[in-house]
Structure 1
Amino acid sequence: MTSVTLSEFRSKQSDYIAAAQRSPVEITSRGARRRAVVVSPEFFDRAVQALEDQADILAASKARKEVGRVSHEELLRKLGI
C-alpha cells in the first residue's frame, strides 16, 4: 500500500487516484496518523459486498440457534401450502 501525506496527495491528486486503481493509497496527516484510504470503485464494491455477506452469514447462524424454530414443513402447513 502506498502511503502519502495529505499535502503530497493534494499536490498530485490525479496521480494518487490513478495509483489507487491498482492498490490502496493511505493518506496520513500530522506525522503518521492515518486520515483516509483511497481505493478503486471495484475494491470498494467488493469490500462492501463481503461485509454484507458476512452479516448475512452471522444472521443465518444466529437464526439456526434460535429456540422455537419452525420447520419448513410446519411453515408450509401453517400457510396452507
Structure 2
Amino acid sequence: MSKVEIYTKFTCGYCFRAKALLENKNVSFKETDISMGGKDREEMIQRSGGRMTVPQIFIDDRHIGGSDDLDALDRSGELDALLAS
C-alpha cells in the first residue's frame, strides 16, 4: 500500500472531503494539521512547490495537489492504481 500524507486545517471543508474519499477507500494516511502554522506549514509549502492552500496531498512523496485534484484522479480511475503501488 502506498504512503499517503495530507496537510490539513481543522475548519477546512475540502480537507474533510479529501479525507472522506481516502477513508471510503480504506486508505490509511498521515495527517498533518497546519492550523497553527509553523514548521509543518513551511514544509508543506516547500514540498508542494509553493502552494499555500489546504489540503495538500502526497502519495509516495509525489505531490497530488488538493481535494479537487484527488477527486479528478479518482474519477479517471488513476487513484486506485497510485494507491496500490
Q: TM-score, normalised by structure 2?
A: 0.26
Greater relative CO (CA pairs within 8 A, separation 6+): 2
Q: TM-score, normalised by structure 1?
A: 0.27
